[in-house]
A and B are shown apart, each in its own frame.
Chain A
Amino acid sequence: MKTEAEYKQELLNWVLKVSTKVKPEELTVTTPLIETRIISSMQVMELILFLEKLKGSRLNMKAMKPGAFTNIDTIYTTFLKV
């Protein structure tokens, strides 16, 4: 199982791979992703698939709240933290 730092690094890499709106040196675990449109609502589905792959199981969409996608910290806490 991955550590918290490893999960967050995987998420940082994913954001940099799919978004053209942020440079590596500007992105941290607290950078707002949706508010700044680094990630669009249309890309959230790809993010969900990526999280399911990392986690190894399906996410419960009904339990999902908009705040869950605020930044990498909130994504980790909501979906990956045990």
Chain B
Amino acid sequence: MTTMLQSQKLAEKLSDASVRLHYSALEAVPMPAVLEKTNWFTAPELMTLFNQPEWETLNDEQKKILSFYEAVNFYSLNINGEKALIEGLAKRLYDEGRPAEHSRYIHHFLDEENKHMTFFGTFCMKYAGKVYQDRKFNFEREYLDGEEEFLFFLKVFIFEEIADYFNVKMGGDERLVETARKINYYHHVDESRHLAFGRAHLKEVWDQFSGSWGEEYRSALAVYIGQYINSTWREYYNPDVYVDAGIENPYDVSERVFHSDTAKNFRTTVSESLINYMKKCGIVSAEFTL
């Protein structure tokens, strides 16, 4: 008799929840004809310039305009990440050897990611007239046995854990305009299921394959993970946002703020739970830091 993996049992429960909680993206999130930039779109304390010298030079109106473009950037980086996610998930549907429960859940995963891109994309195009393009660039390479599956879900895990921190904080924040609040709320509701599945599957893939990858690979992996977390965060400090918000010297501001202690401390706090999970699984050592 074959033993059922934890992720298979979980995938069944998550599929049922996805059916029960099904919603229409464009009905769930109100998208009025006009959204005045006199609203908050991003919580001030989550904005990249908060507690930075530049913050003090901005008046309330300028801070709200910046909060709009930071929201456009947050939605854009989610769109860019979810495009790659959808591509990777679709490729995995009904793979030989993949449990049927996984494929059933991947259908819901895909449906929900598409909904997120619908409300993120509608917001960006309707109110900003654009989606910020990403600067990530991947080089083709060969993988060890099980490595591609592991790295795919590892990157999804890191990307979604960071984004979810913002969603949780802003999904119920009454200071934000309703459209922004609901986008964060619905994104979090779906992502909490995606994260649960991803965490379970990531650990199973790690347990199954990492023993054959060797000690040298594990050391290199820790470097890779640190760089991936940093490059994921780097996109939050997008100079295009500062250009649109009228901030002077946008590239210098982006670089200085990203490397500042204030920003590093914030990122360390937000990244703590995802790093702790990787430590618990043995993916990185107890000494791992950003």
Contacts and interface: CB of A to CB of B under 8 A. Distances in A.
Given A61-B134, A64-B137, A42 B251 contact: no
B contacts with A: majority SS: helix
A43 B235 CA distance: 12
Contacts of A22: none
A43 B234 CA distance: 10
Interface residues of A, number: 18
A2 interface: no
Contacts, number: 47
A52 B255 CA distance: 12
Interface in A33-82: 34, 40-46, 48-49, 52-53, 58-59, 61, 64, 66, 69
A58 B255 CA distance: 15
Nearest to B132: A58
B139 A42 contact: no
A49 B255 contact: yes
Contact of A61 (B135, B224, B228): B135
Nearest to A41: B139
Contacts of A43: 227, 231
A41 B140 CA distance: 10
A53 B256 CA distance: 13
Interface in B190-238: 224, 227-228, 230-231, 234-235
Given A45-B231, A52-B239, 13 more contacts: A34-B139, A40-B227, A42-B227, A42-B228, A44-B135, A44-B137, A45-B136, A48-B137, A49-B234, A49-B255, A52-B251, A61-B135, A66-B139
